Structure 1
């Protein structure tokens, strides 16, 4: 008979997230001794040390990190089981946590989350945003079920990292200019014609490296004036005349947060569209929730 309980795993997750037994106990509305005893019992059952104790709190051991990832998965599966057992048979149910690259999120998540909730009301949908590194780390730790990101070709292929990637769409890079820029009326832009202009680099990992690779492909060395991981700040700076930029995701409007206009132009050189992919761990079978999400995302992102 198994000795590990879901309650112990729940306490483990709380302590790992809050960093101390005291903070975890407060969040769980339990006594400190109750949480401390549960962690000690779990370590005894598993015959490993889950935490390193130090004056400022607790840090997970390497074994603890592995157990934490499994604990999160088990707790999610248990929550899904409870929903199915509550008379939801035949209906898609459980939890779905979506990780999404920050520049893709505003153009995908509002539509897909609301549409998904409408079609599958018994599924508890949640999401987070971040860089590619953060999203992959969350997924590997069991904190998300699927991650939507760009498949940057200069990086290790996602399949080489042990992940499964499904293409949702592809988006080519484009140029952002101030409305009064000398090339604002051109049909398309060659990057060599912008080589002397100040460049605003979108630099959310690994986006900056990707956009610099576009310049490399055209044999141009850009004059980088600003770097920022915020695509909306990029648009604001361009609309203010601080320089030009390259982005991939394209909003429906060409107005900055400040209400100032900018113009967008295609590149005259042909650059292969950057794939937007839905990534799942290669060692896990995709749940029906994840499959349904990917199918819906493909439909919403189809040109």
Structure 2
């Protein structure tokens, strides 16, 4: 079973590996006086992947190794152990329950009891093609009293747990693990990408009260619902930044490389923020002279695709009543 853990090797270094839809990223961080300092990074195109899923293990392993080599060179270390992120498109989240009887008579609940009741939830029936990645306890129930966040030290006979079971496709997880191993690396821990993002971009109150994180990636867009410091729901739209680049390329009749540069240099997600007075040159295929367009026109191209993506995500979030109106 894959587990969500925090890991640091004996040298005080963290090495994270993120296999995204368009790029594979490696980051090396050193913990000094309670703070993490980034000392090396690597970034390579996601060869061997399609929509965030590994379809060619050899190509993916080569890309992972190239990204690791970049990070090693910058950090002046040798990387063997990595923490691997598990993206939202691999996840399925569903309710789970655990139950154990402590003893014939009431006694104090221990850490081992908490682990045992969580382990009892592992008996939840899953399709053969899926495996458990993590279990997130939401509340404990001691002798019928619910709403308990931490039952340790309490006295009871019957301990129950309600939570979320997070599973992934066995085939997809196997291919991910195989590619990392083939790249000469050892997976010491896994982390759910939406949870990692929540720790980076949200403060404590936002993680507790409830927030939706929208991650616009290259090949897809993910929306994750974080509440009570836990991942409650995640959905993935199969379109992302690369689709915006393609739109720009088609509408302006320019190459994908030029379209990507234009998007980064002049693009706005909101056309109201762009100026119709600011023009820039566009290299048009088949023409020797550039064509000039304004930022407002470019923003309208970008905004059209974003509106489609966000509308679909909003519909899915509304289905689970994640958005308060």
TM range (shorter): under 0.3
Higher-helix-fraction structure? 1
Higher-strand-fraction structure? 2
Query: Which protein, 1 or 2, shows the higher relative CO under an 8 Å CA cutoff with sep ≥ 6?
Result: 1
Compute the TM-score of the two structures, normalised by the length of structure 1. 0.27
Compute the TM-score of the two structures, normalised by the length of structure 2. 0.26
